[in-house]
Amino acid sequence: MAARTLMIQGTASHVGKSVLVTALCRLFLRRGLRVAPFKAQNMSNNSFVTPDGREIGRAQAVQAAACRLAPRSDFNPVLIKPESDRRAQLVVNGKVVGSLVASDFGRIRREWFPTVQDCFARLREEFDLVILEGAGSPAEPNLREQDIVNMHMAREANAPVLLVGDIDRGGVFAALVGTLALLDAEERRHVKGFLINKFRGDPDVLAPGIRLVEDQTALRCLGVIPHWGHLRVPEEDSVGWETWVPVEGQRADALLIGVADLPAISNFTDFEALYWEPDVRLVRLTGASELPLDALIFPGTKNTVEALRFVKASGLDQVARQLWADGGTVVGLCGGYQLLGRKIRDPRGIESPERESDGLGLLDVVTSFARKKVLIQVTGTHCESGAPVEGYQVHMGRTRAGSSVLPLLDVQKPNGSLRWAEGAVSPDGRVFGTYVHGLFDAPGFRRVFLNRLRARRGWDPLEVESGRSPDHALDELGDFVERHVDLRAIEAIVEKGL
């Protein structure tokens, strides 16, 4: 029997669709169903590498974890990774197939929707329930003929839809009614209820507005979900900057770590584990700063040369040099690692028309771009401390280390079939770079890094805190959502279908 379906769509981007799908995946899993997530098309530079070396959106990897499944490309067959306002890298079935320009967005539906259909069909044969996620808003008349991820996919999956609105940004009632008004009759037939997300205050205050929407739409409100200020589920994209407020219970002796806000920033989730440490305060840096930083991190980026120009024009290069001269630490992750080197070469114009650029020169490494993307999961150890690490690599560049740097990590494929020295660190240990995303997720390495910064301040080292497991955090998310939605009504919608 083919799987039943449920789809979560939103009135806009960032209303909480990904997190709600994650919660529902866990809730239905706990009810004994075999559940899988599905997002036909994702636009995000936060990606994840599957065990078989394919690339999908990070949100779908988290949703897979909520289903206690290994991530696979079927969960997110089309991934668009923006490189600029008008150009993006196109990933289909986990592999790069070329570039996409804004004027030809409809090419995805023409050329790749059959691939999306195949991926969904495989999931529907294997699982009891597939929970689909939309993107942005379904009420975009200018995109209706190009859509593969909202109502077009709902029709393909014969899926009932729950519409989610974000009250934290204001205008939620107008957004819900307006979204439904812009759908045609066939599209509205799929919508079976609505949810209000990120509410702060007394839900009784919403009653008149909810009644008005229910009267005007003939749909029922299936839940008002409170704002969860310290949600420990990875953000889909860099909207996560907005959540960077001091964590409750932060120590007085907190380290100040800057993160450069680079153009086309990627894998924003690399810093989330640092954010939750009680002795860390993260700050977003867009240019020259006199803040008393302990460390500066250059994150990944989908356009290294553009990011390099930004760093030099904004004065972030001088911030890095001054910090290093003052005894602080400078870190580069993926594209940020490339920035720290002596040269960036792109003779084939893979990422930029610039054939060669001078990097910041803080590490003795040179990067050259290649056509084939590296997609691999890794495990290993930090060379200096022996702390275990694990993560994944997603990059087009190949970085060659010079004689004046040391390897940062000793890594291998998870099956042990290949082992190599990875990354680079300066002889004084205060500048390092790596291609390994998720490096700071390793508690031992993270604490080694932070205690080194603390030592420079003359502060005592801290022990590794025994935190909640990721699986436990997903259970907490499920519990939280279950308390605030009518799950029985949602189960009835799933059972009835269309």
Which domains does the chain carry?
4-232+472-496 (3.40.50.300), 238-457 (3.40.50.880)
SS3 187: helix
Q: How confident is the model at residue 405 (pLDDT cuts 50, 70, 90)?
A: very high
Does the annotation mark 14 as catalytic? no
| Ranges 94-103, 151-160, 338-347: which has the least confidence | 94-103
Q: What's the mean pLDDT in 302-330? A: 96
Which candidate in 14, 152, 190, 437 is catalytic? Answer: 437
CA angle 5, 50, 125 (to 5 degrees): 30
DSSP 8-state secondary structure symbol assigned to residue 106: T
Task: Using the CB atoms, write b or e for 13-34: b if 16+ within 10 Å.
Answer: ebbbbbbbbbbbbbbbbeeebe
- Per-residue pLDDT for 247 more than 70? no
256 beta partners: 281
Distance of CA 492 to the CA centre of its chain: 31
Does the annotation mark 334 as catalytic? yes
Q: How confident is the model at residue 264 (pLDDT cuts 50, 70, 90)?
A: confident
Residue 243, pLDDT score: 59
Residue 204, pLDDT score: 86
Residue 426, pLDDT score: 97
Q: How confident is the model at residue 239 (pLDDT cuts 50, 70, 90)?
A: very low
- Per-residue pLDDT for 202 more than 60? yes
Q: What's the mean pLDDT in 348-357? A: 84
Q: How confident is the model at residue 103 (pLDDT cuts 50, 70, 90)?
A: confident
238 vs 159, which has greater pLDDT?
159
Q: What's the mean pLDDT in 261-278? A: 90
pTM equals 0.91
Q: What's the mean pLDDT in 9-20? A: 95
Give the 3-state DSSP-derived string for 304-343, with helices as H, strands as E and coil as C: HHHHHHHHHHHCHHHHHHHHHHCCCEEEEECHHHHHHCCE
Angle between helices 17-29 and 58-66 (to 10 degrees): 20
Q: Which pair of structure tokens corresponds to residue 124?
A: 């529907």
- Per-residue pLDDT for 75 more than 90? yes
**pLDDT per position as a tens digit, 363-403:** 999 999 998 999 999 999 999 999 999 999 999 999 999 99
Percent above pLDDT 90 for the chain:
78
- Per-residue pLDDT for 432 more than 70? yes
In DSSP notation, 409-475 reads EEEE-TTSS-EEEESEE-TTSSEEEES-BTGGGSHHHHHHHHHHHHHHHTPPP-PPP----HHHHHH
**pLDDT per position as a tens digit, 433-470:** 999 999 999 999 999 999 999 999 999 999 998 767 88
Distance between CA 222 and CA 485 in Å, rounded? 6
Residue 238, pLDDT score: 46
Which candidate in 25, 334, 382, 395 is catalytic? Answer: 334
- Per-residue pLDDT for 244 more than 90? no
